[in-house]
DNA sequence: AATTGTGAAACACTTCACAGCC
DNA sequence: GGCTGTGAAGTGTTTCACAATT
């Protein structure tokens, strides 16, 4: 499942915001390969979105390209970083250091310097005091101290469903405004707090629809593609 | 990032299909607690979607409720399983047994009996021959044999970006029709194959927009909520 | 000649409002 | 009276088509 909710400025489609990091990923890759200019058509090829959509998405924030030429990869990636708020390091909390949480922490800490997991919280006394890639695992009791101290505004929740609501409430209490929720439960948060849900079971189950839909269509003798 | 693509029957909104497993999760929970009847309003409360949306989503597939009463949790959950193709066990492959793949495999194997990871593939010789929760890790070379043998039609890809396209192509070659892609790359697949992308870096980065958007609005003196 | 930026049209999805049924 | 099912209205998003610019 996936659904966002919370304060929205109104003008910029949510769907567009969610595509920006995809453009950024491609732009960074191009930059690294010293490709200075890219067209919306080329970005389309590399992202899977249409070139019109890419151009329109970008114009919600300004005019970044040069007609007849394209976009400078350096300029555009800097602009996108700024729009996303990634022009400075964004500290984040991870709550739940199970398999999934650990995988996320490793992945994030090693790869990126923009959104940075600076606090990992878990209730398991066996885990508290250990660390993941140099970031110490703290007791959840420390959350109220560490989150404000580190200026943390976003959090990733990977605790079991039963514990998720309490953690969310406590995080919001101390200033968290955006939550990436991997627990299979609907979090209740005050207005103004943005929640993005990713439930892996639900992803797998909805995928099943498309394989069985394929089967059904075959049974009916229709063609696909 | 998230985007589906591939064969669609046309009539049923993608967005609706993606909500069905959420309804199913709640229905299963209610059933377990021996609650026999539920209204769309109550489902709305528990899922975060509106009651009208829930009713409309369900009517794409038929009329499952009783006016003035509600929906029988047992009947509806059985119907939803059938619609999703979960009325029989759905075998799936997992390609990539790194941190994320291992977390997913554990989670899935322990919790669910509907979509079932029956084959785990990895190239690391240190991992091949070991197992995760009883499911053996095989060499990717075995993929062409095992996928058809086990009737696998869906796969989860958690390999690095460089290897993802090759794995996807090989999976499709031997009959995979739906892919859950965690690698940060755009997979090229033939028409009729459904790809759902989840890129965790991109989720974190788009989340950053909402915390910094909040900051920007505050700076402008507007209220939120 | 090429490619962006953008109103307008088309399409998709959600919400409204109420008829229909228990 | 209460709740589902559903056309119609409303909103959001994507695509079209072309003028503007280099």
Q: How far is CA B133 from CA A184, B90, B104, B152, B189, in A?
A: 21, 18, 11, 19, 31
The per-residue pLDDT for range A157-198, each reduced to its tens digit, is: 999 999 999 999 999 999 999 999 999 999 999 988 999 999
Residue A5 has a pLDDT of 40
> Within an 8 Å CB–CB cutoff, is residue B210 touching chain A?
yes
* pTM for this entry: 0.90
Residue A111, class by beta-carbon neighbours within 10 Å (0-12 exposed, 13-18 middle, 19+ buried)? exposed
Residue B37 has pLDDT above 60, yes or no: yes
Query: Which residue matches tokens 């005091």?
Result: A129
The mean pLDDT value for B115-136 works out to 96
Q: What is the pLDDT of residues B141-162, one digit of tens each?
A: 999 999 999 999 999 999 999 9
pLDDT at A220: 44
Which nucleotides in chain C lie less than 7 Å from some protein C-beta?
A: 1-7, 12-17, 20-22
Tell me the pLDDT tens digit for each residue of B67-111: 999 999 999 999 999 999 999 999 999 999 999 999 999 988 878
Rounded to an integer, the average pLDDT of A150-155 is 96
Confidence (pLDDT) at A113:
79
The predicted model gives A44-48 an average pLDDT of 96
Task: Name the closest nucleotide to A37, judged by C1' and CA.
Answer: C3
- Tokens 């003196």, located at residue: B221
The whole-number pLDDT of residue A197 equals 93
Whole-angstrom Cα distance, residue B95 to residue B159?
Answer: 7
Rounded mean pLDDT of A38-46? 97
Residue A207 has pLDDT above 90, yes or no: yes
Cβ atoms within 10 Å of B96's Cβ, excluding its own? 26
Say if the Cβ atoms of B7 and A225 lie within 8 Å: yes
Q: Which residue is nearest to nucleotide C2 (CA to C1')?
A: A68
Strand A37-38 to strand A71-72: parallel, antiparallel, or no bridges (unpaired)? antiparallel
The yes-or-no verdict on residue B9 having pLDDT over 60 is no
Helix spans in A112-193 (H): 143-149, 161-173
How far apart, in whole angstroms, are the C-alpha atoms of residue B154 and residue B146? 13
Chain A interface mutation, best of B212, B216, B222, B225, highest count of A Cβ atoms under 10 Å: B212
Mean pLDDT of B10-18: 86
Whether A44 and chain B come into contact, CB under 8 Å, resolves to no
């Amino acid at each position: 499942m996936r659904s966002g909710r919370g304060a929205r400025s109104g003008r910029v489609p949510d769907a567009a915001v969610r595509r920006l990091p995809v453009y950024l990923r491609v732009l960074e890759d191009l930059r690294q390969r010293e490709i200075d200019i890219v067209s919306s058509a080329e970005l389309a090829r590399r992202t899977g979105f249409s070139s019109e959509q890419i151009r329109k998405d970008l114009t919600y924030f300004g005019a970044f390209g040069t007609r007849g030429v394209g976009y400078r990869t350096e300029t555009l990636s800097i602009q996108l970083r700024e729009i996303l708020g990634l022009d400075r390091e964004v500290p984040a909390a991870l709550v739940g250091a199970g398999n999934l949480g650990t995988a996320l922490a490793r992945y994030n800490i090693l790869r990126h310097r923009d959104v940075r997991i600076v606090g990992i919280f878990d209730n398991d006394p066996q885990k508290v005091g250990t660390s993941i890639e140099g970031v110490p695992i703290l007791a959840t009791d420390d959350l109220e101290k560490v989150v404000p101290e580190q200026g943390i505004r976003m959090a990733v929740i990977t605790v079991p469903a039963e514990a998720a609501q309490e953690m969310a409430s406590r995080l919001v209490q101390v200033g968290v405004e955006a939550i990436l929720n991997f627990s299979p439960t609907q979090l209740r948060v005050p207005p103004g707090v943005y929640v993005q849900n990713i439930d892996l079971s639900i992803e797998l189950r909805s995928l099943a629809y498309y394989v069985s839909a394929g089967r059904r269509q075959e049974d009916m003798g229709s063609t696909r593609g």
